Amino acid sequence: MTNPLLDFDDLPLFDQIRPEHVGPAVDVLLKQAEVALEEVTAPDFPARWDAIAKVLDVATERFSRAWGAVGHLNAVADTPELRAAYNEAMPRVTAFWTQLGSDERLYAKYKAIDPATLNPEQAQAHKNAVRNFVLGGAELQGEAKKRYAEIQERQAELSQKFSEHALDATDAFAWYAELADLDGLPEDVIAAARAAAEAEGKDGYKLTLKMPCYLPVMQFAKSSALRERLYRAYVTRASEFGDPAFDNSALITEILALREEEAKLLGYANFGELSVVPKMAESPEQVVKFLRDLAAKARPYGERDVAELREFAAKELGLADPQPWDWSYIGEKLKEARYAFSEQEVKQYFPAPKVLAGLFKIVETLFEVNIRRDSAPVWHPTVEFYRIERDTPQGRQKVGQFYLDPSARVGKRGGAWMDDVRARWLRPDTGTLQTPVAQLVCNFAEGVDGKPPLLTHDDVITLFHEFGHGLHHMLTQVNERDVSGISGVEWDAVELPSQFMENFCWEWDVLSHMTAHADTGEPLPRALYDKMIAAKNFQSGMQTLRQIEFSLFDMLLHTEYKAPTLGTDVSSLPPEGARSALGRPGGGTHAANAAPGAVMALLGQVRDEVAVLPAPPFSRTPNTFTHIFSGGYAAGYYSYKWAEVLSADAYAAFEESAGANGEPSVDTGRRYRQAILEAGGSRTAMESFKAFRGREPQLDALLRHQGMAEEAQPA
C-alpha cells in the first residue's frame, strides 16, 4: 500500500498524504464506485436496501472518506501543490456525485424497495434518498439532465474559487506597525505581532486580518488611523478594491445565475424554494416572515444600543461623528465603563488547556461519557486527538473520536467548523460497527513567550459551539450511516446542539471549573463573573439585527434577485444597481438588478430595513460571505436564528431542572442526549424536539436569554 488515501484500515494517514497521491487515489476509488453503480443498477440486481448498501454504499463511502480527507487538508493546510491537485480532481469527483444522484436506474431501484422490509432508521434514510433523487435531477431528461450536470460541475468550481480568493485575500494583507501605533493593544497580541515580524526577518510588528489579530485591533487600538487601515482592508477583501486576482464579484454573479437556472430546471421558481425542500421551514415566505417578526422585536433594543454608543462616544471619547472602524472600540470602552471590566481582563482567566478540561468535565458529567487523549496521524503539530468512551456492563466502549485543531495560521481557512471523518455505521460488508470520528477546527491565537494560548470568552463560546456539533455526530446511537449523527438532520435544525452548548459558558458551576489566571492560577473571581453576566446581553439588539441582516439578505438574494442570463455582458448593465428600481425587499422580482453592483444594492435595501448602524459604501460583505457562496448555507443562513429558538427552548429545560447551586441536572442531560443527540437524523427534528420537551418550540426562551423579553421592553 503506497497511497495513504487508499488505506481504510482505520484513521486517515494525514501525516503521509501528499498532493501527488490525490489524482491516483481518485482514479482508483472513482473506478470502484462506477463499477459498483453498474452492478446494483443491473436489471437482475435485487431491489433490497441491504443488497444495494453492501455494494454501492461501501464503495461510495470509501470514496467520500478519501475525498473528505483531501478537502479537509485543502482547508487547514493549503499549499499551491495541494490546491492544484484538488482542483484537478474536483471536476471528476463532482461529475460522479451528480451522476449518482440523478441516475434513473438507481432511482428506479430505490423506488422499487419494499418499505415493509425496512427498519425505522432505514425507512427514514430511504425516504430521504428518494427525495434527494428528485432534487438531484433524476427525473430530468435529455438536454435538461445534461445541463444540470454542467451546472453542478461549474458551481463546484466557482465555490472552490470563491473560498480560495477569500483565503488568499486575507493572507495577502500585512501591515508592519511601529510600537507607538499599538497603544492600547493587549500584551499577548503585541508579542504575537512582534514574533510574526521576526519570523520574517522584519522590523516592527506584523498585523494581519486573521481574527486573533484583527479583532483586538478593532476593539483596543487607540489609533483611529490604525483601526481604519485594517477595517478598510478587511471589509474590502476579495473585491474590486484589492488585487484583481482575488476579486469574487464576477463569481457571485455567475453562482447566483447557475443556482437560479438549477432551480428552474427542477421546477422551482427560485433557488430559495429549492433550498427549503429538505429543511424544517416550509417556504421562503415563512422564513422571511420569521426574520422580519424577530427584527421587529429586536429593533427597539438595537436602536437603544446605538443611542448609548453615540452618547458615550461624544461625551467620553470626543467622537461626535463615529466612523465604521470606531464602533468596536467604542463598544469595548463603554462595556469597560459600564461593567468595570474588559475582555482583556477576562481573557487572562481562560488558558486553553484549562478551558478544554472544563469543557470535557461538563460533557462527561451531563452525557455520562469519558474523554481521554488518543493518538492518530495529524496534519499539524498543534492538532490533538481524543476518544470518547462510555461505561457499559461489558466495560468501557469507544463511542467516537475527534481531532482538535485550535490555532490560526497561514494556509488555514478562517472561522470555526466541525466536519466528519467518518460516520457511525453498522457496515453491511463486514457486519462490524464503525464508530464516528469528527474534526473540530477553530482559529484561536497561539500562545506566546512559552505560555499556553489565552482564549477570549467569545473563543470559549466558539469552542463549546463546535463541540456541540461534534457531540451530535459522535454520540449518535443510529446504525444507518445516512441518518446517523448529523446526517439527514434538517439544515435549519443542525445548529440546535451547537448553540445549546453555548449556554454553559455562562454558568458559574461550569466556569468555576475551567478558569485559572495565566499568571497566578487563581480561578475566575465571582465578582468578575457577576460583571460578565450583567454584560451578557450588551448590544444583543444590535447583534441580533446583524444576524437577521445576513439571513434576510441571503434569502432575498436567492428569491428576488434576478441573475443575468449566462453569457450576458454584465459590464454593460447598471453598475451600482439603480437602487430606486429595486423597491422594498419582499416586493417582487426586479429586472434592473442584474449587475454585480445590484447584489450590493439589494444588501443596501436590507440594511435600510433592518440595520441600526450605517455601513460604509465601500464595504463588500458579500465578497467574503463564504457561508452562502462556498459553505453550504445558500438560502439557509437563517438556520442560525431558526435553530436558536430550538436551542434556547431546549436549554430552558436545564434551567427548570437545575440544582440548588445552579448545577445542571444529569437526568435532564440524559433525556436530551437520548432524544436529540442519539437520535441523529433517524426522525424529523421536530419529532426529536417534542420527544425531549413534550411540545413544539416556543420563542420566549430565546427572547429572555437575550434580554429582549416583553417585560424588559425599553421605553
Q: Would you please indicate which residues are annotated as catalytic (active-site) residues?
A: 466
> What burial class does residue 519 get, using C-beta atoms within 10 Å of its C-beta: 0-12 exposed, 13-18 middle, 19+ buried?
exposed
Task: Give the 3-state secondary structure of residue 565.
Answer: coil
Q: In what order do the strands lie in the sheet with 384-392?
A: 370-373, 384-392, 395-407, 437-444, 417-422
d(CA 289, CA 35): 48
Closest listed residue to residue 464, CA positions, set 362, 347, 346, 342: 362
Cα torsion angle, 75, 1, 56, 35, sign = positive
- Could you tell me which residues are beta bridge partners of residue 392? 395
Per the CB < 8 A criterion, the answer to whether 502 and 461 are in contact is: yes
Where does 487-565 show beta strands of DSSP type E?
none
Per the CB < 8 A criterion, the answer to whether 272 and 555 are in contact is: yes
d(CA 161, CA 155): 10
Task: Give the 3-state secondary structure of residue 385.
Answer: strand
- The grid coordinates of residue 680 equal 441523529
- The grid coordinates of residue 701 equal 426562551
Instruction: State how far the alpha carbon of 374 is from the alpha carbons of 79, 261, 398, in Å.
Output: 28, 48, 11
Q: Can you spell out the DSSP letters for 40-66? A: HTSTTS---HHHHIIIIIHHHHHHHHH
> What burial class does residue 709 get, using C-beta atoms within 10 Å of its C-beta: 0-12 exposed, 13-18 middle, 19+ buried?
middle
Q: Can you spell out the DSSP letters for 118-172? A: --HHHHHHHHHHHHHHHHTTTT--HHHHHHHHHHHHHHHHHHHHHHHHHHHHHHH
Closest listed residue to residue 233, CA positions, set 593, 620, 705: 620
Residue 320 DSSP label: S
Q: Can you spell out the DSSP letters for 578-643? A: -GGGT-STTS---TT--SHHHHHHHHHHHHHHH-SSPPPTT--GGGG-HHHHTSS-TTTTTHHHHH
User: Which stretch of DSSP H or E encloses residue 433?
Assistant: strand 433-434
d(CA 294, CA 708): 10
Q: What is the 3-state secondary structure (H, E, C) of 414-426?
A: CCCEEEEEECCEE
Cα torsion angle, 191, 193, 199, 201, sign = negative
Closest listed residue to residue 603, CA positions, set 615, 591, 587: 615
Residue 673 DSSP label: I
Scan for cell 446605538, then name that residue: 306
Q: In the chain, what are the helix, strand and coil shares in percent, each to the nearest 5?
A: 55, 5, 35
- Give the Cβ contact number of residue 278 at 10 Å: 14
Per the CB < 8 A criterion, the answer to whether 56 and 481 are in contact is: no
- Could you tell me which residues are beta bridge partners of residue 351? 454
d(CA 594, CA 196): 43
d(CA 246, CA 240): 9
